[in-house]
Amino acid sequence: MDADLLTQILFAAIKTGTPLLFIALGEVICEKSGILNLGQEGMMLMGAVVGFIAAYSTGSMGLGVLGAVIMGAFMSLIFAVLVLQLGANQVATGLALTIFGTGLSAFIGSSVVGQTLPGFAPIALPVLSNIPFIGDIFFKHDILVYLSFVMTFVLYIVVNKTRLGLTLKAVGENPNAANAIGIKVLQVRYLAIMFGGAMAGISGAYMSLVYTPMWVENMTAGRGWIALALVVFASWRIGRIMLGAYLFGLASIMHLVLQGFGWSISPNLLAMLPYVATVIVMVIISADQFKEKLLAPRSLGKPFDPRNMA
Amino acid sequence: MIRIQARTEPSSVMKFASPLIAILLTLIFGSVLFSAIGKDPLQALHVLLIAPLSDSYNIGEMFVKMGPLLLCAVGLAICYRANMWNIGAEGQLLAGALGGSAMALYLIDSDSIFALPLTLIAGIVSGMLWSAIPTFLKLRFNSNLILTTIMFNYIALYLLIWAVHGPLRDPQGFGFPESAMFADATLLPTLFEFSRIHLGIVFAVIAGIIGWFILSKTHLGFQIRVLGADEPAARYAGFNSKKLSWFVMLFAGALAGLAGVGETTGPIGQLVPNVSPGYGYSAIIVAYLGRLHPIGAILAAIFMAILYMGGDLAQIELGIPVAVVSMFQGVLLFFLLACDFFINNRLIFSQQATN
């Protein structure tokens, strides 16, 4: 395998990993606040379809992304009200969100099936793209990929270096204690959930505006679920999410890699790879029970009812 | 002023009323939605809910759809009772279809009376195997059951697609990705002349009754319920939670596998890529709507099967995409979860409150 092909593969791994990066960043923030939202797949599909329809009808890719963000946040608001206000089970509510989003996206997307969009054009960043090898892999992408770099960096700083990050983690670790020191737990969780929804929206928009770029029913093909696994893989750390997203991107384009080695395997078997890889990775990560317990937000998935607090 | 007050005792009335209210609210949501897209809401609801029961053929088709839904839902209900979040009924169903089909194709020249039982067993065992892997990974390696079972849904789907494109493809099928038609000896007999209702519905209802019996009448069921409601108590009582987890998962896998092989040896008669229109996912809602109770699941499966049938009819008669069915399912679950709030809480009006 020559250097040229390797560059192409790594470039493609980043492109393929980008939607996973967006959605997993959103989910990690949500989970840090103690909320497990299994509705990612549904929100992502809604982001994809609304992003596509918005871009298709206005002719503006930017409005497409904006529409997807708003839609993702709105979808997560349904989840937030049920879980935070009505104390509904997070697992069941998340599943409902995914089932609802899958159906609704197919329903409203039926009018634009078969349409295509130009997509975002790649932009070679000045200076950076001239770095040998690295420049070809990282700095000749479209604007959303750069946005994902920026988001990763900003979230890393916010979570690890700011008071806001501390508040978020306090809510996820021990909501009762956070409440006692005057943090508005529900408010923080609302914001974290809606941030997660907005990111799932962008992630969907990336699929339908850049990656494919068109709308096909169920086009996210389980990426929302893989993102949930990615958060476990990254043990709730932002930097590792980026690495993980690109590794999963690589697993998804394994057919390119194998062709590079001159192997040919049925594309349907190769399509299984990201899911198999996800299972294997999860097993390896979770097998160390002590470590996982140490890293996961302590109140993850558990309800918090301020009315029970005297 | 309306205030919310926690009930001292969970309301048993609301526990049963909640699904009915949720269904009603879903129908109202549907009417608004249909009006919004310029369809006559009454006509749409008629097509979705009444037309599926309007003639004997449609009723038959309704039962054909109810079978796999109920089989999967009974298994899931018991898993959820034990706090095992198995989302993998879809994959277990597909694995059952695949394993059963491999056996049926192996027996394609057979006219033995054992051909059908062998095929069904192959399907059941395949479904069990497909639920066994995530169970093993959870119990041995502590991996998240929700995520692994979902991954196995996708893996099963691609495995099935690979099989119908490759080893199980009909050599005389003009290259279509589907298997040869199964021999009569491996087909489930139909029950009536007028419809495609087959033995699968009988299996499903029996499964519901067995599920109810295990859960409500046996010590095993008691242990499962304690495990789900209060794990420390179950541990204190010395229940073997690993054994119970294995039981519920393998039971669910077996039923989902039977649902899968029932589809291929029943109404379809061969292995095709789209064996299931998402029965395994819908069964999650059926299980919830049936209050995680096997008998409740029977009623819920009837409702969901009507909705599926109605979705088919709505596509033909109103040009509405079949996807509305899963949209309604999601909305139904939202409303159900919201209504369940009132099992443990009640609204009180300020005048009452001051009394």
CA angle A308, B285, A95 (to 5 degrees): 60
- Average model confidence (pLDDT) for chain A? 90
Which of B142, B334, B340 is facing A100, going by the closest CB pair?
B334
Backbone angles phi, psi at A237, to 5 degrees: -115, 135
Q: What type of residue is A167?
A: T
Query: Measured between alpha carbons, how far is A253 from A87 in angstroms, rounded to an integer?
Result: 41
Tell me the average pLDDT across B331-351. 87
What is the predicted pLDDT for the residue at A262? 74
pLDDT one-digit tens code per residue, A210-233:
998 899 999 998 999 999 989 988
Report whether pLDDT(A23) > 90: yes
Are B162 and A292 an interchain contact pair (Cβ–Cβ within 8 Å)? no
Query: Measured between alpha carbons, how far is A274 from B326 in angstroms, rounded to an integer?
Result: 26
pTM greater than the 0.90 cutoff: yes
Query: Measured between alpha carbons, how far is A261 from A278 in angstroms, rounded to an integer?
Result: 23
Are B151 and A275 an interchain contact pair (Cβ–Cβ within 8 Å)? yes
Min Cα–Cα distance to chain B from A234, Å: 14
Report whether pLDDT(B354) > 50: no
For B352, the 3-state DSSP assignment is helix
Q: How confident is the model at residue B231 (pLDDT cuts 50, 70, 90)?
A: confident
Report whether pLDDT(B209) > 60: yes
Min Cα–Cα distance to chain A from B329, Å: 7
Are B143 and A282 an interchain contact pair (Cβ–Cβ within 8 Å)? yes
- The count of residues in chain B is 355
Q: Which residue of A has its CA nearest to B148?
A: A279
Neighbours of B141 (CB within 10 A): 16
Tell me the chain B residues in contact with residue A289 when contact means C-beta distances shorter than 8 Å: 142
What is the predicted pLDDT for the residue at A266? 81
- Average model confidence (pLDDT) for chain B? 91
Concatenated DSSP letters of B283-309: HHHHHHHTTT-HHHHHHHHHHHHHHHH
What is the predicted pLDDT for the residue at B37? 81
Q: Long-range CB contacts (< 8 A, 24+ apart) of A302-305?
A: A302/A34, A303/A83, A303/A87, A303/A90, A304/A34, A304/A175, A304/A176, A304/A179, A304/A185, A304/A186, A304/A189, A305/A87
Candidates A233, A283, A307, partner chain B, best to mutate (most B CBs within 10 A): A283
CB A91 within 8 A of CB B79: no
pLDDT one-digit tens code per residue, A64-76:
999 999 999 999 9
Tell me the average pLDDT across B17-34. 91
pLDDT one-digit tens code per residue, B118-177:
999 999 999 999 999 999 999 998 888 999 999 999 999 999 999 999 889 988 877 788
Tell me the average pLDDT across B94-122. 95
What is the predicted pLDDT for the residue at A307? 60
What is the predicted pLDDT for the residue at A212? 87
CB A41 within 8 A of CB A229: no
pLDDT one-digit tens code per residue, B34-61:
888 888 888 888 888 888 888 888 888 8
Q: How confident is the model at residue B69 (pLDDT cuts 50, 70, 90)?
A: very high
Q: How confident is the model at residue A1 (pLDDT cuts 50, 70, 90)?
A: low
Backbone angles phi, psi at A21, to 5 degrees: -65, -50
